[in-house]
Structure 1
């Protein structure tokens, strides 16, 4: 699991945990305050929507990789809507100003002090959830655009967990081939033709150049001797019982005529 996949699980898991805490706090405030204030009910609704959205994102991506729910084009708009909802919930609970000052000033009434602390905690977790969802949306969108610029044309229909801080896609959408190690002499053979080079007798030579034959240095081997040629004409094999013929050179005066 690469870095962004781990970061995604951490952000979604923390958002789910904070949503459960906010749900409990808001439900208790609804029970204590009734219908006098609207912000606890709105916080309950946002928390429930977040739980219903985040749990399938985590579970489906772990159980079935590449499912529709985990696509960038599906998950990014959902988290964008939750971003706006959490911002509205946090701003609404803060603008009410139900308790002003420090909650310890209500120590004379334990029930009132507890209600004040719950209200303050609701504001804090609402803002924290907004910050987490905002970070998730911005990082996911940035990585999707980066992958699109690298040539991943179907990035919007790929799982969010496949996004990476260093995408390895070319402009044709195919994964990059890592650069081969430099061979002695500065020549880098094509890794896709490595099997051809291993079977070829001219492996290791640059293209369009024939291999150079080895020639030993002069003087290391003796020169080749010409075969011996007889001065007598070839008269065929000698036969048993035939007279021996001798060769006579012509007289000197015959050569001058």
Structure 2
């Protein structure tokens, strides 16, 4: 059994759990800044929005994939696109958090006011959680993308199937060999043969005293003709064609 579905559940489950923690911390930062500074920090609002998107969408993707096979949200191409957008947003939230921490708290924490001191300590926590989510989603999407490209190069179209139903390590599909039917021609008219032949037909002209039998292209089987040749009358009766 492939470990890729398990890897998917562990990765997306971890992102959901971390997003819940980041959601709580960023919401508390926004609440404190609204009470004390009558505003909000951009990175906290960014982390809050991305956390909400992650918590709402990722569990829904997992549930739909378990309940309904072939759903749009379970397709590899859709999953890579959406999770790729999320890791970009988490990376942006982490970068803004790192910048805000250095600017707002250059001397570190240790304030007398407990609310402000708690908020100060939540800045690096939200930043770290944002980078962790970015790393998990980036690793997962890049792994699935590489495996999908490798499977497609072996002749398996996996882009519109789900990760849980895809065998990324299936052997390559051997290319089909196209056969060509050889139909002998007698006097400008093809000789009819019974049996099953490939659709492609190649006509081979008849030489004097010889008729090529049905065979494969490049390997006609030669046989003596039962028909009279030009200038050499042969008594009948003749075979019917």
TM-score by length of 2: 0.65
**By percentage of residues, which structure has more strand?**
2
Measured against aligned partners, the alpha-carbon deviations of 1:87-117 in whole angstroms (never above 9, x if no partner) come to 11111111112323554xx064433332222
Q: After TM superposition, give the deviation of residue 56 of structure 1 in Å.
A: 1.7
Counterpart contact for 1:46–1:85, Cα < 8 Å: yes
Q: Which whole-Å CA distance do the structure 1 matches of 2:53 and 2:174 have between them?
A: 39
- The residue that corresponds to 2:70 in the other structure is 66
Q: After TM superposition, give the deviation of residue 171 of structure 1 in Å.
A: 4.3
Measured against aligned partners, the alpha-carbon deviations of 1:18-69 in whole angstroms (never above 9, x if no partner) come to 1111110110000001224221111111111112221121101111122221
Q: Which has the higher contact order (CA 8 A, sep 6+)?
A: 1
Counterpart contact for 2:91–2:134, Cα < 8 Å: yes
Q: Which whole-Å CA distance do the structure 1 matches of 2:40 and 2:60 have between them?
A: 34
Measured against aligned partners, the alpha-carbon deviations of 1:103-148 in whole angstroms (never above 9, x if no partner) come to 4xx0644333322221121011011001011011100101100110
- The residue that corresponds to 1:10 in the other structure is 10
Measured against aligned partners, the alpha-carbon deviations of 1:200-224 in whole angstroms (never above 9, x if no partner) come to xxxxxxxxxxxxxxxxxxxxxxxxx
Correspondence 1:1-257 to 2 at 5 A: 2-34=2-34, 35-97=39-101, 98-100=104-106, 102-103=108-109, 106=110, 108-152=112-156, 154-164=157-167, 166-171=169-174
Q: Which whole-Å CA distance do the structure 2 matches of 1:126 and 1:93 have between them?
A: 9
Q: Which whole-Å CA distance do the structure 1 matches of 2:150 and 2:174 have between them?
A: 12
TM-score by length of 1: 0.61
Q: Which whole-Å CA distance do the structure 1 matches of 2:171 and 2:147 have between them?
A: 12
- The residue that corresponds to 1:192 in the other structure is none
**RMSD (Å) for aligned C-alpha atoms:** 2.0
SS in 1 for 2:173: coil
Q: Which whole-Å CA distance do the structure 1 matches of 2:111 and 2:100 have between them?
A: 22
Larger Rg: 1
SS in 2 for 1:156: coil
Q: Which whole-Å CA distance do the structure 2 matches of 1:167 and 1:37 have between them?
A: 49
CA pair 40-171 structure 1, distance change in 2 beyond 3 A? farther
Structure 2: which 5+ runs fail to align? Answer: 177-241
